[in-house]
Amino acid sequence: MSMTFIIDALVTVIGITTPILLAASGELVVEKSGVINLGVEGMMLVGAIAGFAVTFETGNPWLGIVIAMLAGAASSLIFGVLVLSLGANQVATGLALTIFGIGLSSLIGSNYVGIANDPLDSPFPDDLAKDAFWRIIFGHSPFVYMAVLLVLAIGYFLNKTRAGLVLRAVGENDFSAHSIGYPVIAIRYAAIAFGGAASGLAGADFSMVISPLWAEQMTAGRGWIALALVVFAGWRAGRLLAGSYFFGVLMALELYAKASGFAIFPSQFWAAMPYLIAVIVLAIISSRDGKGGKAPACLGKPFIPNG
């Protein structure tokens, strides 16, 4: 294997890992607050079409990124109102958000099918970004750097800051947190909106970098992988980072198997592999109860004060 091949492969892995890392980081914060939002896939699609459409209409990709995050957050607030203010079931509402995201993005996207944008390039100068070796560090889209910074910041926030401690307290024991005066519902709203923005950003990565061409349901189930990743990581930021790249390698195998006509297994086998592995990994992690990291105690339970 030549050096070029190895660098190419690493750049590919880093690129396709980024959206699931972004989405999973956001979902980690949501779940730490005691809420499970299964709408990741839908919010990613809303972010994907928002980022794509705004970039196409204005020619300004950075504006596209901002609007994608806002759109993701806005759609997550539909979920927030239903589960936090109206006490609706989180599983069903999250699923509704995914169906909503698929429908809304297809509706808006029907004007953009077949249109391509220029992919968003590395923010670094070409001397570094296109260098045969240094591109492994400097040759990525801005999303890659944002994702790594985001997960590190979240790790710091959750474990080292007072606000992070409060967020975790809300997720571990909402009634206690409420009784000592923390605004449980407001904190959860904030976490949900943050998760929505991260998913929106993840979607924009798909439509602006990975395949800068609008296609219906272009996120192809990656939002669900992101949800599995949070469990896989045992609700810890460090393991989330490592786990994402593990899945990135699995997803890269599919691309390489297709490109090389690698014939031992059909390409569909490689495409199914991240999902199969996710199921197997979920079983392994869940059976090692405690050692694998525990879910926040209030995850998925509605909180109705004086209820």
Q: Which residue's CB is nearer to other proteins, number 163 or number 280? A: 280
Q: Is 269 in the site for other proteins (CB under 8 A)?
A: yes
Compute the distance between CA of residue 20 and CA of residue 14 in angstroms, rounded to an integer: 11
* CB-nearer residue toward other proteins: 91 or 297: 91
Query: 3-state class of 116 per DSSP?
Result: strand
What are the b/e assignments for 171-183, b being 16+ CB within 10 Å? bbbbeebbeeeee
Taking the C-alpha atoms of residue 271 and residue 249, their distance in angstroms, rounded to an integer, is 12
- From 24-32, 199-207, 237-245, 267-275, give the range in contact with other proteins by CB under 8 A: 267-275
Q: Which is nearer to other proteins, 157 or 275 (CB)?
A: 275
Residue located via tokens 């699995």: 250
* H or E, element range at 162: helix 162-172
Q: Give the distance, in angstroms, between the CA of residue 121 and the centroid of all CA atoms in the same chain.
A: 20
Q: Which of 297, 231, 184 lies closest to 38, judged by CA?
A: 231
Binding of other proteins by 276 (CB under 8 A): yes
Q: How far is the CB of 117 from other proteins (least distance, A)?
A: 20
Nearer to other proteins, 148 or 218 (CB): 218
Q: According to CB under 8 A, which one of 3, 181, 261, 289 is a site residue for other proteins?
A: 289
Which amino acid does the sequence have at 123?
P
Residues 50-109 within binding reach of other proteins (CB under 8 A) = 78, 82, 86-89, 91-93, 95-97, 99-100, 102-104, 106-107, 109
3-state secondary structure of 213: strand
Q: How far is the CB of 221 from other proteins (least distance, A)?
A: 5
* Closest C-alpha among 171, 216, 163, 140 to residue 27: 171
Site pattern 210..239 for other proteins (x: CB under 8 A): ------x----x--x--xx--x--------
Distance of CA 29 to the CA centre of its chain: 11
* 186 binds other proteins per the rule CB under 8 A: no
For the CB of residue 91, give the shortest distance to other proteins in the complex, in Å: 5
Q: Are 257 and 267 in contact (CB under 8 A)?
A: yes
Cβ-based nearer residue to other proteins, 95 or 213: 95
Q: Strands (DSSP E) along the chain, which ranges?
A: none
Interface ranges with other proteins (CB under 8 A): 38, 78, 82, 86-89, 91-93, 95-97, 99-100, 102-104, 106-107, 109-110, 216, 221, 224, 227-228, 231, 266, 268-269, 271-272, 275-276, 278-279, 282-284, 286-287, 289, 307
